[in-house]
Amino acid sequence: MSRAFVKEDGDEAKPRVHFGLPPRRDPGFNAAAALALIEAARDGYTELAEEATGYKWGDQALHAHVQRLIEKEEQRAEGEQDRRFIQVARRFLRYRP
């Protein structure tokens, strides 16, 4: 995992973050996991999302879902796009564990 997406305040307890993931057997789980990982990385909670989803940063199994998230975000009006979200999602696609 890239250190760029890890909060380094080791003295703090891990925050409780609810990712709203469906059950793992749900057909939409991988799409939800991809969104959870990207949003968590944007906010500095990658490790929590990895624990919740069971996927690691850059996992190939989620690449198609992350690409769709980028495309969806880029379809929004320029002033409404979350540029940080897009940046983090592109890093996910480039990452090679």
Q: Is the dihedral of CA 56, 60, 39, 82 positive or negative?
A: positive
Q: Is the dihedral of CA 91, 37, 15, 11 positive or negative?
A: negative
Q: What is the pLDDT of residue 4?
A: 56
Q: What is the pTM of this model?
A: 0.83
The mean pLDDT of 12-38, rounded to a whole number, is: 90
pLDDT band at 7 (very low <50, low <70, confident <90, very high): low
Distance of CA 83 to the CA centre of its chain: 14
Q: From CA 93, how far away is CA 83, in angstroms rounded?
A: 16
Q: What is the pLDDT of residue 23?
A: 96
pLDDT 10s digits, 42-72: 999 999 999 999 999 999 999 999 999 999 9
Q: From CA 38, how far away is CA 53, in angstroms rounded?
A: 12
37 close to 88: Cβ distance less than 8 angstroms: no
State yes or no: pLDDT of 2 exceeds 60: no
Percent of the chain with pLDDT over 90: 78
